Structure 1
Amino acid sequence: MRKRLSEPSLLIMAVIGLIMYLGVAFLSPYLGKGDRVDEETEAQPAISKQQAADAALQFARSRFQLSTDTETNTMFQSYTLRSGYLQKEHLYEKYTKQFGERFPLDYYEVEINDRSTGLNYFIAVNFTSKQIIGWERNKTATSKASTVSSGETDTGKLVAQAMKDMGYAPDDFVKKEDTGSTVTPGGLAYESKTVRLGDARLTLVLKLGDGQVTAFRPAFTVPQSFIAWQAAQDDQATLMTRVSMLLSLFMGAAAIWIVIRYRREIRFRTGLILTLVFLAVYIANNFNMTPAFRTSHGSGPTDMNMMIYLWFVNIFVVLMGLSAYFSMIAGQKLWHDQGFPSWPRWREASFGAHVKLATARGYLICLFILGLQQVLFLAAGEVFDVWAVSDPADSVYNMIYPGLFPLMAWAAAISEEAIYRFLGIALFWRLTRNRFLAVLLPSIIWAMSHTQYPIYPVYTRLVEVSVIGLVFGWTLLRYGFLTALFAHAAMDSILMGLSLMYMGSVQHAITGAAYLVIPALIGWLIARFHGYTRAVRE
């Protein structure tokens, strides 16, 4: 790895990156992006989660016999299937103008658990107007028996009354016999005679139980052809993710074998602090995302599913941390054997200066990558008609403290640069004896693991991330691991910081802006602390 700075070329790359980024931002409004949702943007709630919970409780108390012993959880949710269909058919902007106010694609869902009766409610709340969109009541194992029998009330009267209560005219709807995949088992569907957009028609979905309406949900039926197309896309993404996992396991096994084989020649302290940072940040983020773990739920309380999933992902994170650690110590051995230094040790006098250079270089390369990524997004949208839907499971609105989210930039940078660059390039270089293939192959493996993001068609994500992986690989070969690490951390910090700024509040805007420079601050503090400890030792 070359030690010469060659800063003019990096400055030129950074300027080119800024030009590309700003150019795409300027051109986007004129190139038809209005029908698509960007990966990083979501609708901004106009009310707080507490206001949504209060509105849901008020509605539930007015409609059901709700006790005073209740617990609420509020989640950000999206009608992703509907959003995807509208974007694929270029109907998104038209839908937003015509139906977005009454039938928003993003909304709050309030879970109410009544401890006295054991009943569970999910209330959909419009997060711009506090209007109740839909609702569902579920029984749990401890629910008390209903006092209303199933035969006491006529179904038609129940349905008509529920429609009126929710602001719909029953005469405008006709019962749909073939509900297909729109309705959950046991449900009834009533299709609007007039309200439609493309092949999507407004449909009211209801459930009945014990002589009562137990669920009411407005939906827009999506053509089966689109559902099948998206399912095929998701299957492709799943296949690529599994291939990536298998190849990553191969790389991990190779790392463990190298560590065992050359254990007497390996510095086991290498990467230990980075691994601990990765584990601390990732596990803390998992606890921060407990509201997101509730979003993929069935009927009934979400607490148990959320806790099981939390334990599962934390075990998986520990395994990821071990993989990153073995990748760093095995990669160190492979690079040493090929005559390339990995990175300076803390006790070396050059460590502080190296971190400063890595930070500065990382930011310059990061600016180039951000511009390149925007150009790839633009090309994908205009040439391949790429679109994305918001994912509640990853939304900042489903975090307890959204301001902590950009810390994940460091977890991603540490694990991915350790596994797919520091180990991956060295390993495939030894296997193929070809430098380009050594960079390309782990980049593709890394990219395949990113295809399950809700971006369609899924193959475009493979191409985009692979290209970015080539830049990170070039960075490692030319400037070393720490530069690649800071470039990755800076890029993700900027993107995640911007996602905070898009939330709209002054607090989040300030916090997000601070994250844009935090990698630089961390690099400076490490260098200063190294200089201080060195002075004390001397």
Structure 2
Amino acid sequence: MNPVGQPLKQRPLSKGLIISGIIGIALFIMFQVFPSLLGGVPEGNTAVISKDVARSNAAAFAAEKLGYTVSDGEWNITYQSDSSFFGYMSREKLLEDYSKKKLDQRYPYDVYHAAFTPAGQNGTLLTVNLNMYTGQAVSFARGAAVPGGNSRSGAHSIAASEEQTPLSLAQKEQLARPWLKEWGVNPAKLQIEPGSSGGSGLTYTDSSVTVGESRLQYQFTFDGGDVSSFKPGFTAPGWHTSYVDSQKSLATKMTLYGYGLPTIALGVLALIYSILKRSHTSFKRGLFLSTVHFLIMMATTYNMLPETSGDNVEARVTAIVMFVIYALYSLLMSSLLYFSLVGGDGLWRKEEGMNPWPRAKEPGYGQYVLDSIRAGYVWAFVLLGVQTLMFILLSLTLHNWSTTDASQSPYNMRYAWLLPVVAWLAGLSEEAIYRLFGIRMLKKIVRSTLVASLITTLIWAFGHTLYPIYPISSRPIELTVIGLLFSYIFLRYGFIAVMFSHVVFDSILMGVTLIFMKESVNVWAGIFAIVMPFLVAYIVYLFNRSRTPEEPEAANTVV
């Protein structure tokens, strides 16, 4: 970090740091990339099928096996995952065995969920789950078994008097038998789960096929004399589900009290200090980055909003309301970024006489940015290595494990290739709030840079506890180490360097995720995401080449 008024000069990269970066990226590739690359696709498959193929396969299954004509309506395809069962296997180290037995082909935990809505109707008529790699239908639900569905829609509606007559166990078994044979299962080798034959359901268990404590089950529900849903597969034990629920509750409290409220407090203080230190900063400076941040947030929001099935009024109103809520949230976060940039810049200049965030018109700015992106990449490599070592250490000590989260999956985004833009949101806002502003603000209270860095790092770490990584305590531990390194980078190299290191760090993680999807557009998007930070820095350099104070200021500058 340079003193105010001095020519800009970025700290040189030492040989030891460069070697550490090489070791870090090697560890990341060895322990995170290769295992995911080798174990990410079920044996015998190459890549995930497209959503168009999923639609076609779902329509064919509905017509051939369920007797539905689905030409007049819309199929909505989403990615769904049994995160509870996957988490159980991850926790008990059963995933490799599950794949070796090829159970993931007949009973996949990740599926394409195809929901059909007839034209002019609000409710979903039927759903079909498909293997994401083979396109084979693995379960279905129709009529009353579909949330919001219409049990009288389609070819299987019957008289009301028949619907009201409960089915006997023998009748249920007779209806279930053809579907079991369709799946290649001999009903004589199955046991009826005690207590499952009451009401509208029936569950068979195959005790010869187990995954840990979980046994293979075939679950049926019935409606009006026909099978309304059929789902073969496994479920996580009750004790595991209870544990996850308690961990989620703890994560919610950590996020609210450890992250949400302190971040709001920092936002209020940033507004106050922006006003108090206005003579040492400029209210114009943060406008560009805050505007970019808002536009990226809005694009990301649109990209992650679920695609509605059908064109009914209720779906459109819901989508509009959700978009407005996210727009207001985006405006709030961008405002917090803006005042953190202005207030943090003013605090450092006034209280410390340091220049953490140089202006484009300052001598040496272009070269400073170019040197900062070099530092950003090297430090990102170091951070990836540290994260990898933390995962190994936490696995050996806390036995941490992770599971899937369909709500954050690129498979549920409108355009998966847009995923890496989220890296720029984190790099801009988090480094401005918790490093540029937060450290110097809290130092006024605790009188220690280290303690201030630790407090802001903990606030930042608690904001990541809702990720599906357990036990929840492992996430703040990992991110406290990462966050303190970000603080060190900021204090030594300044805001631009730490912002780039954060962006590169996240861009590599997200870029690799896209590459794993194996579709050409996503592979190239992933590669581009990894090199994009350098391209941005180089463009800034071209528009702001080094000049001496005597040289006239360039007509065009990029801030």
Q: Same fold (TM over 0.5)?
A: yes
In structure 1, the residue matched to 2:127 is 122
Q: What's the CA shift for 1:190?
A: 2.4
Among candidates 344, 355, 360, match of residue 374 of structure 2 = 360
Q: What's the CA shift for 1:431?
A: 1.2
In structure 1, the residue matched to 2:505 is 491
Q: What's the CA shift for 1:491?
A: 1.2
Among candidates 454, 464, 482, match of residue 440 of structure 1 = 454
Distance change (3 Å), C-alpha of 1:68 and 1:4: closer
CA contact (8 A) 1:256 1:330 kept: yes
CA contact (8 A) 1:191 1:203 kept: yes
In structure 2, the residue matched to 1:49 is 51
Counterpart amino acid of 1:127? M
In structure 2, the residue matched to 1:135 is 140
Local SS of the residue matching 2:363 = coil
CA distance in 2, matches of 1:14, 1:247: 36
Matched, 1:108 2:119: no
Matched, 1:94 2:97: yes
In structure 2, the residue matched to 1:163 is 180
Local SS of the residue matching 2:16 = helix
In structure 2, the residue matched to 1:405 is 419
Q: What's the CA shift for 1:208?
A: 1.9
CA distance in 1, matches of 2:263, 2:556: 41
Matched, 1:318 2:322: no
Q: What's the CA shift for 1:8?
A: 3.9
Distance change (3 Å), C-alpha of 1:288 and 1:342: same
CA contact (8 A) 2:115 2:124 kept: no
Counterpart amino acid of 2:481? V
In structure 2, the residue matched to 1:461 is 475
CA distance in 1, matches of 2:538, 2:481: 30
CA distance in 1, matches of 2:322, 2:202: 32
CA distance in 2, matches of 1:231, 1:24: 31
CA distance in 2, matches of 1:226, 1:184: 26
CA distance in 2, matches of 1:276, 1:514: 23
Matched, 1:70 2:73: yes
Matched, 1:518 2:532: yes
CA contact (8 A) 2:128 2:139 kept: yes
Matched, 1:350 2:364: yes
In structure 2, the residue matched to 1:336 is 349
Matched, 1:18 2:22: yes
CA distance in 2, matches of 1:318, 1:161: 56
Local SS of the residue matching 1:517 = helix
Counterpart amino acid of 1:60? A
Counterpart amino acid of 1:111? A
Local SS of the residue matching 1:502 = helix
CA distance in 2, matches of 1:142, 1:349: 69
CA distance in 1, matches of 2:470, 2:361: 48
CA distance in 1, matches of 2:268, 2:383: 31
CA distance in 2, matches of 1:447, 1:42: 31
Among candidates 271, 294, 301, match of residue 279 of structure 1 = 294
CA distance in 1, matches of 2:422, 2:124: 37
Q: What's the CA shift for 1:119?
A: 4.2
Q: What is the Cα-based RMSD across aligned positions, in Å?
A: 3.1
Local SS of the residue matching 2:466 = coil
CA contact (8 A) 2:24 2:381 kept: no
Q: What's the CA shift for 1:53?
A: 1.0
CA contact (8 A) 2:200 2:223 kept: no
Q: What's the CA shift for 1:344?
A: 2.1
In structure 2, the residue matched to 1:240 is 254
Counterpart amino acid of 1:57? A
Query: TM-score w.r.t. structure 2 length?
Result: 0.85
Q: What's the CA shift for 1:174?
A: 2.7
Instruction: Select between 420-429 and 387-396 the one with higher mean Cα deviation.
Output: 387-396
Q: What's the CA shift for 1:356?
A: 1.8
In structure 1, the residue matched to 2:543 is 529
Matched, 1:388 2:402: yes
Once the two structures are superposed, what CA deviation does each residue of 1:263-293 show, in whole Å capped at 9, x if it has no partner?
56652112211111111112112222234x7
Among candidates 479, 484, 487, match of residue 493 of structure 2 = 479
In structure 1, the residue matched to 2:88 is 85
Once the two structures are superposed, what CA deviation does each residue of 1:379-424 show, in whole Å capped at 9, x if it has no partner?
2223332222222112222222222211221111111111111111
Q: What's the CA shift for 1:349?
A: 3.4
Q: What's the CA shift for 1:55?
A: 0.6
Q: What's the CA shift for 1:467?
A: 0.8
Matched, 1:147 2:158: yes
Counterpart amino acid of 2:22? L
Distance change (3 Å), C-alpha of 1:21 and 1:442: same
Distance change (3 Å), C-alpha of 1:164 and 1:279: same
Instruction: Select between 375-384 and 91-100 the one with higher mean Cα deviation.
Output: 375-384
Local SS of the residue matching 2:49 = coil
CA distance in 1, matches of 2:242, 2:308: 26
CA distance in 2, matches of 1:303, 1:160: 41
Counterpart amino acid of 1:415? S
Q: What's the CA shift for 1:28?
A: 7.6
In structure 2, the residue matched to 1:298 is none
Q: What's the CA shift for 1:152?
A: 9.0
CA contact (8 A) 2:78 2:114 kept: yes
Q: What's the CA shift for 1:24?
A: 5.8
In structure 1, the residue matched to 2:206 is 192
CA contact (8 A) 2:440 2:449 kept: no
CA contact (8 A) 2:274 2:342 kept: yes
For residues 250-289 of structure 1, what are the structure 2 equivalents within 5 Å?
A: 250-262=265-277, 266-289=281-304
CA contact (8 A) 1:294 1:305 kept: no
CA distance in 2, matches of 1:303, 1:171: 49
CA distance in 2, matches of 1:185, 1:275: 57
Q: What's the CA shift for 1:178?
A: 4.7
Q: What's the CA shift for 1:201?
A: 0.8
Distance change (3 Å), C-alpha of 1:83 and 1:324: same
Once the two structures are superposed, what CA deviation does each residue of 1:46-85 show, in whole Å capped at 9, x if it has no partner?
3211111111011112314334211112112211111111
Among candidates 458, 463, 468, match of residue 449 of structure 1 = 463
CA distance in 2, matches of 1:536, 1:309: 42
Query: TM-score w.r.t. structure 1 length?
Result: 0.88
Q: What's the CA shift for 1:234?
A: 1.6
Among candidates 442, 445, 463, match of residue 431 of structure 1 = 445
Uncovered stretches (5+) of structure 2, i.e. residues with no partner: 3-7, 547-551
